Amino acid sequence: MQLKSSDPDFGGLSGLRLSADGSRFTAISDRGNWFTGAIDYEGSRPTGVSNVEIAPTPGRDGKPLPDRRGFDTEALEIEGRTAWVTAERVHWLTRYELGPDGRPEGAGKAVALPPASAKAPSNSGYEAMARLASGEIALIGEKFLDDDGDNRGFVVGGKKPFEFSVVRSLDFSPTDLVRLPGGDLVLLERRYKPPFSLSIRLRRLSAKDIEPGATLDGPVLMEASLVQRIDNFEALGVHRSPDGRTVLTLVSDDNFSPLQKTLLLQFALPD
């Protein structure tokens, strides 16, 4: 499903979270804007979005992020009335309290990150983030590699932060991460080889394998290329359908380019 709007701020979607039943969504864009709205369905099939509202995300000083350069917001996590947002280039993680409208109330607060996390390349920071069942936050860098060439990740927000890795293969890079209802994780990855080669992949990672120094790997759930008419999918969400199925939602980042599209794709995981 392609999403369109005449609003010049619509686009660049890079982080996504859904309500438990999939009826509402929250997203962030590369330009620091905060999106809320409803997903419309006919039965289990999404048909469009409605009641979409766009507002600037406040920084840690309460001033709008879209008004300043260098704040490329990439990943979003929401639990109740609390949200976490990552930003590339500046490599920060910020926590927000949300109001009844689902938007941040006031300035964000810094979440401490280990010093090693600041070494991520400027434009290849923490695009993938999910809150673990423990309440800690897992972050995975896009092209932040360890000595073995695997993707570096960090778990923060607990008693002691630690580092782990995710096996990197076939030049795929992480772009988002979600926690499934059972606790395991699904990692969205992208591979782009200019000018016309684009692929995406979904991998399942076992939550029990996340520990200090671990290197995670897992089965591929899906892989697609331009043959399947995909676009630059960067955002991933999950919800339970009325019939109890686990549904993944992918949204593409059009980079505000007329050559790209904002697409929304949903599919159910097999039981």
pLDDT tens-digit profile of 131-153?
A: 999 999 999 999 999 999 999 99
- pLDDT, one tens digit per residue, over 5-17 is 999 999 999 999 9
* pTM attached to this predicted model: 0.95
What are residue 45's DSSP bridge partners?
42
Give 236: exposed, middle or buried? Use CB within 10 Å, 0-12, 13-18, 19+.
buried
pLDDT at residue 69, rounded to an integer: 66
HSE-CB at 174 with a 13 A cutoff on CA atoms is 36
To the nearest whole number, what is the mean pLDDT of the chain? Answer: 94
| Residue 255, phi-psi category: left (phi > 0), alpha (psi -120 to 50), beta (remainder) | left
- Percent of the chain at pLDDT above 70? 98
Residue 67 predicted with pLDDT over 80? no
- pLDDT, one tens digit per residue, over 157-187 is 999 999 999 999 999 999 999 999 999 999 9
Q: Tell me: domain 2-263, CATH 2.120.10, correct?
A: yes
Residue 68 predicted with pLDDT over 70? no
Residue 38 predicted with pLDDT over 70? yes
Which of 116-125, 155-164, 233-242 has the weakest average pLDDT? 116-125
| Identity of the amino acid at 54 | I
Which of 24-33, 39-48, 83-92, 161-170 has the weakest average pLDDT? 83-92
pLDDT band at 1 (very low <50, low <70, confident <90, very high): very high
Residue 56 predicted with pLDDT over 80? yes
- Residues 197 and 163: their CA atoms lie apart, in Å, by 32
Mean pLDDT of 239-251: 96
- What does DSSP assign to residue 9? T
- Residues 55 and 34: their CA atoms lie apart, in Å, by 5
C-alpha distances (whole Å) from 122 to each of 90, 91, 94, 127, 136 are 7, 8, 18, 12, 24
Contact 86, 78 (CB under 8 A): no
3-class state of residue 200 by DSSP = strand
pLDDT at residue 40, rounded to an integer: 98
- pLDDT, one tens digit per residue, over 85-117 is 999 878 899 999 999 999 999 999 999 999 999
Strand 33-42: give its sheet, edge to edge.
Answer: 13-18, 24-29, 33-42, 45-56
pLDDT at residue 70, rounded to an integer: 61
- Residues 245 and 18: their CA atoms lie apart, in Å, by 15
- What does DSSP assign to residue 42? E
C-alpha distances (whole Å) from 184 to each of 39, 212, 239, 244 are 25, 17, 14, 17
Contact 84, 111 (CB under 8 A): yes
pLDDT at residue 206, rounded to an integer: 98
Residue 23 predicted with pLDDT over 90? yes
